[in-house]
Amino acid sequence: MADELWVREGLPKHLADYDFKDVYVVPMMKTAPVLDGHVDEDEWKGAVGFDGLSHQGKLEERRARAYIGATRTHIYVGIITEMPPEGELIADRKVRTANLVWDDSVEVWVNATPESETYVSYQMLANSLGYECYQPSAIGNVPREEYYAWNGEYRIVNGFHDGFWHCEIEIATDRAEKGRLATEGKWGLNVCRNWKMPWTFSNLGNRAYTADEDIVFQFVEDGAAAIQVKHAKDPTTKDVKATMSIYNPGTKTLDLSAHFHLKRNLMPDVGVSEDITVAPGETKEISFADHDMVSNKFTLFAMVSEKDGPFVYTRHYLWGPPRENRWESVSPTSPVGASKPLISGSFGRSWGSL
């Protein structure tokens, strides 16, 4: 609660309308990405992009990047996550049940009606071996026949590249709501990672475990930008170097306001704001850097709004100070998910380009 109050306190005027329910307005992808187990930046250029996953607002230090895009009939999710420098992912479960959570695994949650008080959240859980399971969770008085024995039948392809696990997922919108197109209404979506060594959960949101009703996506045919935020350095080292790319794949010129705003607990807030005009087919970038060795708690806001209009990309996350040990080695004879390490040590910080 203290962290939440600190994060909300004293935001500048241009962020005052942020209600902490994250909103992403995303253009249609011109071409669906090739699902080959490699999240290629060019193929995902038309998606919205995120650097880092969190839990309860705290950034997980092990690196993760996520992309979400859509065609009219499918939603696409790309997830890239750091692997242990000395060792393999834990992938011992050759099952299609919730026991996959005991492995290194990813989750995607889909809510077709996030603004309703009655809805079903559809969960997919998968490990790096290609095993997956599907579980619906009903909120409110939902007839059981609408979700009983639901199977998402997602297409999932994994790959391993330069110390990172790449997972690409294709979701037919019809599986979440019969006859539904991606451009119809809003979607609640959450992307999650279950880590081992040590066991930690992280996700796209900054609140509870599966707050997909607070992470709302709207896919539009035209008039939106594909916005992606990336870190060039590990922010937990107090060296922040972030870039926001804004790509306009549509036919209309976009007038936007882009913002980075960094709250620091022992130094004044800093940031950068810029009004940007992005022509059709054009990409613009806004960069932000900060090096503060005094503060030990940070929150970064990455926000874009229509000029004098509503937000179209809103995200914030908290970090600091870093853990002494980023990874743990687990005895090969220990049960999967055992929390007691055989050897503890910092295996280095993999923060090269993805």
Catalogue all structural domains in the chain, each as residue range(s) with its CATH number: 2-335 (2.60.40.1190)
Is it the case that residue 350 has pLDDT exceeding 80? no
pLDDT of residue 332: 43
pLDDT digits (tens, 9 = 90+) for 200-248: 999 998 765 556 678 999 999 999 999 999 999 999 999 999 999 999 9
pLDDT of residue 39: 98
d(CA 160, CA 38): 8
d(CA 132, CA 170): 13
Query: What are 251's strand-pairing partners?
Result: none
Rounded mean pLDDT, 102-124: 93
Angle at alpha carbon of residue 305, lines to 304 and 310, rounded to 5°? 145
Mean pLDDT (the chain) is 89
Is it the case that residue 14 has pLDDT exceeding 50? yes
pLDDT of residue 258: 98
Is it the case that residue 106 has pLDDT exceeding 80? yes
Tokens of 333: 């004879």
Phi/psi for 252 (5° steps) reads -110, 140
Give the residue, 5 or 118, on which the prediction is more confident: 118
Rounded mean pLDDT, 147-165: 94
Cα→Cα distances 231→243, 288, 304, Å: 7, 10, 17
Cα→Cα distances 92→176, 194, 232, 350, Å: 29, 14, 33, 25
pLDDT of residue 143: 86
Instruction: With residue 8 as reference, give the H or E element that holds it.
Output: helix 2-8
DSSP 8-state assignment for residue 98: G
- Comparing 76-80, 159-163, 335-339, the range with the smallest average pLDDT is 335-339
Length of the chain counted residue by residue: 354
pLDDT of residue 303: 97
Q: How confident is the model at residue 20 (pLDDT cuts 50, 70, 90)?
A: confident
pLDDT digits (tens, 9 = 90+) for 254-290: 999 999 999 999 999 999 999 999 999 999 999 999 9
pTM of the model: 0.92
Neighbours of 147 (CB within 10 A): 15
Q: How confident is the model at residue 337 (pLDDT cuts 50, 70, 90)?
A: very low
Phi/psi for 144 (5° steps) reads -60, -30
pLDDT of residue 98: 93
pLDDT of residue 208: 55
pLDDT of residue 146: 79
pLDDT of residue 149: 86
pLDDT of residue 348: 40
